[in-house]
Amino acid sequence: MSRVRRDERGQATVLVLGLAMAVLLGALLLGAVAQGIGVKGEQQRAADLAALAGARAMHEAYPRLFEPAVIGGRANRAHLERAEYIALGRRAAVATARRNGARDIALSMPDARTFAPVRIRVMVRDAIDLGAGRARERLKAGARAEAELAPPAGASLAQPGVGEYKGPLAHRQGKPMRPDVAAAFDRMEAAARADGVALVVVSGFRSNAEQAALFVRHPDPKWVAPPGRSLHRLGTELDLGPSSAYGWLARNAERFHFVQRYSWMFVAFGLVTASGRTGGAPPSTNSAVGLRSGRFRPGFAPSGP
């Protein structure tokens, strides 16, 4: 009888030890999982804050993209090049991610091919160390966040066709145009008003589809460019009036970086940057000299006055 009791006590001891080991292993496993969840949460927080910081920096710098590079023959300090704008967003995002413990950081801008990107994506890819000593294990992990800044109030986004301007549009007198064109027009319109001249925007940005409909109604390439060839698709062109303002425009438009595009069309003006180029790729029939001087005859227009 005593031998049976000793055997039972031994079996119970083994069972208790087994249960204790199971509880210990479970606790270690739960601790590792909790540790992993905590690190994962920290990574997500770093990614979220980094994306927000990058978007905020871009939002604050956004209007400077549309400032003219040169005013009155001098460099405009308010102007910001596209590369500098993107670099501002990247620096803010990386600095914020690192302040929040991230080390392996990848940044991208899903709309980087546009003139003025408004989205920034942050990936934090630091590995997670679980356990300690020989039981330590490094696992791949990652967190992703994306932030987008809203366009300026009153702006809309162009939905481009082939060769069309792809960025935000501002409106003046109900007509769409690139924001830098709108800013330049505001300065020119204020100067004209001070001289007692009222400027009217007759037309601004036109999509290829709108140009096609216009060309069907007026199929004369001397006055209406075929679809896909009009500079209006670049968002840099304005048709201005009334006819009583043509003299003032001829004397003053170039002060504000607007040039008369065609010698026989007093209404057509376009914004030219400091480099002498329009904001988008010009049609192949336009010469660089023509774009700088503003007056040229594109290949699709017939000869004439």
Task: Give the C-alpha separation, 49 to 26, whole Å.
Answer: 34
**DSSP 8-class letter at 268:** E
More confident of the two residues 132 and 24:
132
Region of poorest pLDDT, from 130-144, 256-270, 287-301: 287-301
Q: Does the pLDDT at position 229 exceed 60?
A: yes
Average pLDDT over residues 237-257: 93
Start and end residues for every CATH 3.30.1380.10 domain found in the chain: 156-293
List the Cα angle 111/113/118 in 5-degree steps. Answer: 35
What percent of the chain clears pLDDT 70, i.e. is strictly above it? 65
In degrees, rounded to 5, the angle at the alpha carbon of residue 151 between the alpha carbons of residues 150 and 157 is: 115
* Token pair belonging to 1: 């009888």
pLDDT digits (tens, 9 = 90+) for 108-166: 988 777 667 778 999 888 776 655 555 566 566 678 888 877 555 544 444 445 578 88
Class of domain 156-293: alpha beta
Residues 61 and 139: their CA atoms lie apart, in Å, by 39
Angle, CA 30 vertex, CA 25 and CA 35 arms, to 5°: 125
For residue 95, give both structure tokens.
């600095």
Question: Which one-letter amino acid corresponds to residue 110?
Answer: P
Is the predicted pLDDT of residue 192 greater than 60, yes or no? yes
Instruction: Categorise residue 217: left if φ over 0, alpha if ψ from -120 to 50, beta otherwise.
Output: alpha
Say which residue, 132 or 93, is predicted with more confidence: 93
**Residues near 266 by Cβ (< 8 Å), separated by ≥ 6?**
243, 246, 249, 250, 260
Distance in angstroms (rounded) separating the CA atoms of residues 142 and 43: 7
- Dist. CA 58–CA 53, nearest whole Å: 9
pLDDT higher than threshold 60 for residue 294: no
Give residue 170's pLDDT band: very low, low, confident or very high (50, 70, 90): very high
What average pLDDT does range 284-300 have in this prediction?
42
pLDDT at res. 148: 77
Q: Position 267: which residue type?
A: V
Supply the pLDDT for residue 177: 93
